[in-house]
Structure 1
Amino acid sequence: MNLITPTIVLAILLSLILSIFQSHNTKKSLMVLFLISLVPINPLLNNNELTLSLTPLIMTPTENINISFTLDTLSLLFMPIALFITWSITEFSTWYMNTDPHSNKFMKYLLTFLITMMVIITANNMYQLFIGWEGVGIMSFLLIGWWHGRQDANTAALQAIIYNRIGDIGLIMTTAWLMAWSSINMQELMAQHEMINIIPIAGLLAAATGKSAQFSLHPWLPSAMEGPTPVSALLHSSTMVVAGVFLLIRLHPILHNNTTMTTLCLLLGATTTMFAAAAATTHLDIKKIIALSTTSQLGLMMTMVGLNQPTLAFLHMITHSFFKAMLFLCSGSYIHNLNNEQDIRMMGGLLKTMPMTSSFLTIANFSLMGMPFLSGFYSKDTIIETLINSHTNSWVIMITVIATILSACYSTQIMLTTMTGYPRIRHNTHNEPKTIINPLTRLMLTSILMGTLTKTSTLQTTTMTTMPKSIKLMALIATIMGVLLSKDLSHTTYHLKPKKLNKQNLFFNQLAFFNIPHRAITMNTLKASQQMTTELMDLWTMENWGPKGLSNTLTPAIHLSTQQKNMIKNYMTMFTTSMALALIIILI
C-alpha cells in the first residue's frame, strides 16, 4: 500500500496537467480523478504518513533543493475535496460561461488554479510551497480580472495581488530565515518541535493574514467578487483563501508552544470573525455578503489555530468548503437568470420560480449557521464548545458568539429577501438545466452528510467532556437568536423608506474605512503629481530654463556686443573710424 499511495497522487497531478491541454473532457477527468483520490484515504485513517522525494535538482552547500511530496492526513484528505469541488464547479461553468467566447481558456485557468493548490497541500519543502503559493496568487489575479473590459474587474484583480504581495513578504522572510538558521524541509523543521525565534513565526502569520484575508488585509476579498461566479466559488471554498490557514495548520508543530504567536492568532481570528460578520449584515450585494461570510469563517479557523486546535480548524475548513461552494453556485444561478442582477433587494419570490436553487441555498445557509446535523454543525458547534471550555480569553468567546448571531442574521436576510415576497425585477424565463442541478445536488449531499461521515469514520472513541447545558446549547441559542432577530428586523423595516447609513453601518459597510485609502490616497497622489507637473515643470522649470531663461542669458551678451544705443555721435565716430581704418589698409 505504501507504493500505491504516492503512485496514485503522482498520477492525479500528471493527469490534471494533461487535462489542461484537453479542456473539452475536463468534467469527466475530474470525476475519475476524484474517485481515484479516495483510494489512499483508507490507509490514512491509521495515521500513516509518507514522503516522496526525487533526486536533488539544485545542490548548495547548505540545502539540497528537490521536488518532495508529503502525503499525510492533511494532503490526502484535502485532495479529493478540492477535486470534488472543482469537478462540480467546472460542470456549472459550462452553463454559466456558455456565452463567453473564451470558455475553454477559462476552464484551463480553473484547472491551473487547482494544480497550484495541489502543489501547496502536497509540498514537503518551503520552495515547493512558495511555487504553489505564488501560482495561486497569479491565477486568482487572472481569474478575478477575467472580464478585463470592466474597470472594476481590473481594479479588483490588482487589489487582490497587491494585498497578497504584502502578506507574501512574510513568507519570503520566513523562507530566508529558515534557509539561514534552520531547514526548509518540513520534516526537519517540525523535528525541532518548537521555534524560539519570533521572526519566522511572525512571517507565517503575515502570509496567512494576506492570503486568508484576515483583518487589516481583508478588503481584497469582497472586491474579488468582480470575477465570474465559478471563480468566486473555487476561490472561497477549496483554493486560495484556505491556503493561508492551511499553511498555519501544516506548520503548527513549530508554533504551538509560542504563546505570543498563539495569542496573536486568537485575537486576529476573533476580530476578523466578528468584523466580517458585522460587515456582511450591512451589504446588499449577494456575492459580497457570501464573501464576507468566508472571511468570518476563516477567522473562526484562525481562532482554533490560536487555541492549539489545528485539527478542528482543518475540520471546519473541510465542511466549510462544501457549503460555501454551494452558496456561490446558487447565487450564480440566481444572478445568471436575473440578467446579472446581484442586489438582493431586486430579487424576490425566487422560491416559486427557481425551487431547486432556492432549496439548495436554504440548506447551504443552514449549514453555514450551524443548524444541527448538517455538516457545518459538527465543526462550528465543536469550535464554539471548545472555545467556551477554554480558559484562555473570555473576550474572544463573547466576540465569537456575537459573530455566530450575526452570521445567522445575514444568512436569514439572504433567504428572506431573495426567496419570499414577490418578484421585483422583469426577468426572462427561469431555467434550471441539468448542468447546474447535478453539481448542486452533489454539493448538497456532501453539505448534509460530510459532518456525519467524518464523525463516524474518525471519532470511533470520543472523549467525554462534561459541561453545563447552557454552554452546550450556547451555539444553537445564538443561531436561533440571530434568525429571529433578522426575521423581526426585516418585517419591521420592510415598509420604511431607505435611509442614509449611520456611522456604525458606514464603518462596517466600508470595511472599517479601509476602502477610503483606496480612493483618498490615489486621488491625493494624482492631484499632487498633477500640481508638480503643472506648477513645477510648466510654470517654473520650463519658464526659467526655457524662453525666459534664454532671453535673460542672451540680453547682456547683446548689450555688450552691440553699439546700437541711438546716439548719433557714436554712430558717426564709429563710421569715420572704420572708414579711416579701411582706407589705411587699402593704401598699405
Structure 2
Amino acid sequence: MLQNYQINLMASKLLWVLFSLMMIPTTYTVFYNLTVLLEWNMLTISSTPIMLTLIMDPLGLMFSCTVLMISANVLKFSTIYMGDDKFINRFTVLVLLFVLSMNMLIFLPHLMMLLLGWDGLGIVSFILVIYYQNPKSLAAGMITALTNRIGDVVLLLAIAWTLNQGHWNILHMWTSNENNWQILAITIAAMTKSAQVPFSSWLPAAMAAPTPVSALVHSSTLVTAGVFLLIRFYNFMSTSWWFSSLLLLTAVLTTLMAGLSATTECDMKKIIALSTLSQLGMMMAAMGLNMVHLAFFHMITHALFKALLFVCAGSFIHGHMHSQDLRWMGNLSNQMPTASSCLVMANLALCGFPFMSGFYSKDLIVEASLFYTHNLLMLMLILVAVGLTSFYSVRFSLSVIWGMNNSGPFTHLEESKSLTSPMLVLASMSVISGASILWVAPLKQQMMCIPSYQKFMPLILVLLGASMAWLMSTTTQKNNSLLLNLPLNHYASCMTWFLVPISSQLMLKLPMYMSHNYLKLTDQSWLEMMGGQGFNKLSVNISNTLMSSSSSMPVNYLLMSSVVGLTTLLILL
C-alpha cells in the first residue's frame, strides 16, 4: 500500500504548507524580538524534574523556516534525480525524519530532550549514507556513525555532569565546579557534528549518499547542528576563558585545511563538501571571535546558496549518467543554461561577491575580525581562506561550465521543470536573503569604522584567488603550480591533511597487528599444541610407538587399550 501511494510527490507540497504556517510566528517574533518558552513537567526523579521544554525565539524560528524551505526544494529535485529508484517512498520518509530530527534539535533546549533530535540526526544520516548498499557506502556510513557517536557520548557526559544542578535546561545554567567539563563536552559534541579538526574526515566520506541527501545534510541539517548547538549554549559557554581560543584555533585550521584540499580535488561533490567544511570553519571562527549573531547570519545564507550548489551539481551528475568527475564534464553553459547560471550565482555567493547573500554575512565577519583586536596569525589565516574559497570556486566553474566538453557523445542533457523550479527558488533566495535578513533581523551589530584598504581587502582577496585559478586552469600542465605537483603535498591535500588514514587505518592498525599476532602465536600455535590437537597427536605417537615395538599378539592390543583407557580416565578425573 505504501508503494502505491506516491509519498515523494506529496512531501514537497506538505513542507511548503508547513513553511507557510511557520512564517506567521516567525514574522511576529522577529518583528517584536520575542522569545516564548513553554515547559511541561513530565515526571520527577528524586526532586529532579524531567521537563519537555519548547523555545520559540527569532533565531530558532528563522532557522526552522530555512530548513523547511530547503527541504521542500530538495524533495522536489529528488523526484527527478531519484525517479528510477524503486524505493523512493522509503527515501522520502527518511528525508522527512531527517527534517523532523533537525526541528526537534532547534525547538528543544532541554539537554535530555535534545538527545532525541541529536541521535535522530545521527541514525537517519547513517541510513541515508549507506542508501546505495555497496562497500564504499558502508565504509562512509561507518566512519560517519562512529564519529558522531563520539559526540553522543560526550553529550551524555555533559548530561551527567549537569545532574547536580537539578535541571537540564541550557537557558538556566549557573556556575559550578563542573562548568569546564560541561563546556568541553558540549564543544567536542558540536565539533564532531560540524566536522571540525580533528573530526573532519567523515564529511567528504558522507558524499556516498544520494545527491539530494547531500544537498540537505551540507546546507541546513546535520553539519549545522553543531553550530546551532553552540549558538544556543553560547551565553553559558563563553564564561570559560579558554572556550573562544580553542574554538577559533580549530575553526581556522578547519577552514584552511578544507580550502587547500578543495584546490586539488576532482570529485565534484567532494569539492562542494570541502567548501561546506570551509564555511563551517568560518562560522565557528566568528563565534570564536565573539560574533555569535554574525555566525548565525552566515549559517542562514550559507544554507541557501549551498543547497543551490548541490542541486545544480546534482543536475549535472544526473545528466552525465551519475558521473561526479570534473574531467568528464565541460561546456555546460550552452547545454544546461539555467543550471549553469544558478551555479555561477551560488559560487559568487560562496566567494562573498558584492551584493550576493554571502557577501553580507561573510564580509561582515571579515570586517569585524579586522576591526576588533584579535590574534594576527589567526586573522591572516582567515584572509588566506577567503582567497582559497575564490580559487576553488573559479576552478570548479571553469572545469564544468566554460571548459571544453569531455563527456561521451551519447550524453543526454535536459532541464525539466522539477529541476529548474527548485534552482530558481533557491537562486532568488541566494540573492535577496542576505540583504533582507540584515535589514529585518535583530543582529545586534554595532557600527564599525575601518580604513579603506581593510574595507576592500576581502574583495581584493576574492579577485586575487579568482585570477590565480584562471591563470592556472588556462595554462598548460607544465606551467601549473609546483605545489600541486609535489607528491607529498598532493596526497596531503587529497586526504585532508592525512585525517582520513589517521582517523580510520591508523587507529585500527595496532589493534589489528596485535590480534593477528595473537592469532598466529597463541591461538593457532601454543593453545593448539597444549590443547586437544596436541594431546591427540601425542597419544597417536605413543600408541604407534608401542605398537611398533611390541609383537602382534592379541594380549598386547588388549593391554595397550586398557592402559590408554585408564590414562584418559585419570586425566578426565
Fold-level match, TM-score > 0.5? yes
Report the equivalent of 1:435: 418
Change (3 A) 1:339 1:233: same
From 353, 359, 362, the equivalent of 1:380 is: 362
Q: Does the alignment pair 1:174 with 2:132?
A: no
Pairing of 1:274-285 with structure 2 (within 5 A): 274-285=256-267
Q: Does the alignment pair 1:105 with 2:90?
A: yes
TM-superposed CA distance for 1:553, in Å, is 5.6
From 34, 47, 50, the equivalent of 1:48 is: 34
Q: Does the alignment pair 1:123 with 2:108?
A: yes
From 454, 457, 460, the equivalent of 1:471 is: 454
CA contact (8 A) 1:194 1:255 kept: no
Select between 507-516 and 467-476 the one with higher mean Cα deviation: 507-516
- CA–CA separation in structure 2 for the residues paired with 1:63 and 1:411: 52
SS in 2 for 1:251: helix
- Matched residue type, 1:435: S
In the alignment of these two chains, the number of paired residues is 547
Report the equivalent of 1:186: 170
Report the equivalent of 1:229: 211
Larger Rg: 1
Pairing of 1:226-305 with structure 2 (within 5 A): 226-305=208-287
Report the equivalent of 1:506: 491
TM-superposed CA distance for 1:341, in Å, is 1.2
Per-residue CA distance 1:518-561 (angstroms, 9 max, x = gap): 2455466555544433443333322342343234368779999x
- Matched residue type, 1:541: L
TM-superposed CA distance for 1:516, in Å, is 2.1
From 297, 314, 338, the equivalent of 1:315 is: 297
- CA–CA separation in structure 2 for the residues paired with 1:195 and 1:566: 87
- CA–CA separation in structure 2 for the residues paired with 1:273 and 1:194: 34
Report the equivalent of 1:455: 438
Change (3 A) 1:555 1:454: closer
- CA–CA separation in structure 2 for the residues paired with 1:336 and 1:227: 14
Q: Does the alignment pair 1:39 with 2:39?
A: no
Per-residue CA distance 1:556-588 (angstroms, 9 max, x = gap): 79999x9975699x99xx9xxxxxxxxxxxxxx
Select between 134-143 and 496-505 the one with higher mean Cα deviation: 496-505
- CA–CA separation in structure 2 for the residues paired with 1:323 and 1:205: 27
Q: TM-score, normalised by structure 2?
A: 0.90
Report the equivalent of 1:206: 188
- Matched residue type, 2:137: A
Q: TM-score, normalised by structure 1?
A: 0.88
TM-superposed CA distance for 1:428, in Å, is 2.2
Report the equivalent of 1:92: 77
CA contact (8 A) 2:8 2:79 kept: no
TM-superposed CA distance for 1:507, in Å, is 1.3
SS in 2 for 1:237: coil
Report the equivalent of 1:577: none
SS in 2 for 1:159: helix
Question: Once the two structures are aligned, what percentage of the paired residues are identical?
Answer: 33
Compute the RMSD of aligned alpha carbons.
2.7
Report the equivalent of 1:418: 400
Report the equivalent of 2:565: none
TM-superposed CA distance for 1:310, in Å, is 1.0
Give unmatched runs, 5+ long, in structure 1.
1-19, 575-588
Report the equivalent of 2:202: 220
Report the equivalent of 1:3: none
Give unmatched runs, 5+ long, in structure 2.
560-573
Report the equivalent of 2:13: 28
- CA–CA separation in structure 2 for the residues paired with 1:93 and 1:460: 34
CA contact (8 A) 2:368 2:448 kept: no
- CA–CA separation in structure 2 for the residues paired with 1:432 and 1:508: 34
Report the equivalent of 1:159: 143
Q: Does the alignment pair 1:140 with 2:125?
A: yes
- CA–CA separation in structure 2 for the residues paired with 1:402 and 1:482: 9
- Matched residue type, 1:486: A
CA contact (8 A) 1:168 1:210 kept: no
- CA–CA separation in structure 2 for the residues paired with 1:551 and 1:421: 73
TM-superposed CA distance for 1:41, in Å, is 2.0
Per-residue CA distance 1:322-365 (angstroms, 9 max, x = gap): 00000011110000100111111111111111111010000000
SS in 2 for 1:373: coil
TM-superposed CA distance for 1:40, in Å, is 0.9
CA contact (8 A) 1:279 1:509 kept: yes
CA contact (8 A) 1:354 1:430 kept: yes
- Matched residue type, 1:130: L
